[in-house]
Amino acid sequence: MSTTAANIHHVAYNAIARPIKKAVKRWVDTILTPLLGRYGYQVRYVRDEYQSETSKCRQRLAPFCIGYGVDLGTGGDPITEAAIRMDMPTPYARTGPHPVQLGGDATRLYWFRDNVLDYVYSSHLLEDFEDTKSVLVEWLRVLKPGGRLIIFCPDQKAYEVYCTSRGEGTNPHHIHADFSLRKVQDILRQIGRTRELHSRELVDHYSWELVTEKIQ
């Protein structure tokens, strides 16, 4: 999706969906709640777990996650049921019911020796680290030759446009103002030892995806 198309979508959302949501809430508050109250019932608003970023790309990227691998920064919703779930001991995002199996720092995968995993998957995590190159080197370290690094991340500029259009703040954990698919591709070329298998830019409002293979 182009930035222009995304902006059109956001305008449509603001013009149609938001007024409908406000009208429904007003009806619940002014009509339904008093009515149910007569019979001893209460209406409570429950904030459910929000949609994970992984859920937006699972259909496309899960087929690359075959064998023995890890989901870094899983947030409770791993790319596949078989993926090892790694996150902070207390994740700052909770988007699913699955508990953390490996709690720690995704920049140091000390649980794994060199060349042992068939895949490393990560969604919306790499942009949180200052030294992108060293993190990618560490993630590649644990992959077998032929193993796959699967990344789903935001384009920071498109993400900021999206948040602005919705009147929302941006994620304060994002470090790089220029974070993008091209930036990560350039870093991987500097590192070497990889071959790109798949990439797509702006597959939704602000995210891109990349699959690379470790070749040695």
Domain ranges of the chain: 1-46, 54-214
Total length of the chain: 216
Query: What does pTM read for this prediction?
Result: 0.77
pLDDT band at 11 (very low <50, low <70, confident <90, very high): very low
Whole-number Cα distances in Å, 49 to 86, 87, 97 = 19, 17, 9
**Residue 172 amino acid letter:** P
Highest mean pLDDT among 29-33, 41-45, 89-93, 139-143: 139-143
133-177 pLDDT, tens digit each: 999 999 999 999 999 999 999 999 999 999 999 998 998 999 999
Contacts (Cβ under 8 Å, ≥6 apart) of 206 = 6, 154, 155, 158, 159, 161, 162
How many Cβ atoms are within 10 Å of 41's Cβ, its own excluded? 10
Whether the pLDDT of residue 204 is over 90: the answer is yes
**pLDDT at position 43, please?**
59
How many Å apart are CA 36 and CA 39, to the nearest integer? 5
Between 142 and 42, the more confident residue is 142
The mean pLDDT of the chain is 87
**pLDDT at position 25, please?**
65
Contacts (Cβ under 8 Å, ≥6 apart) of 140 = 120, 149, 191, 193, 194, 214
Positive or negative, the CA dihedral 200, 202, 203, 207 is positive
Tell me the percentage of the chain whose pLDDT exceeds 70. 86
Q: Which of 60, 57, 58, 85 is nearest to 71 (CA)?
A: 85
How buried is residue 110: exposed, middle or buried, by Cβ count under 10 Å (0-12/13-18/19+)? exposed
Give, in words, the CATH class of 54-214.
alpha beta
* For residues 70-77, average pLDDT: 95
86-126 pLDDT, tens digit each: 999 988 777 888 999 999 999 999 999 999 999 999 999 99
**pLDDT at position 17, please?**
54
Q: Are 3 and 159 in contact (CB under 8 A)?
A: no
How buried is residue 203: exposed, middle or buried, by Cβ count under 10 Å (0-12/13-18/19+)? middle
Q: How far apart are the first and last CA of the chain?
A: 34
Between 151 and 42, the more confident residue is 151
188-197 pLDDT, tens digit each: 999 999 999 9
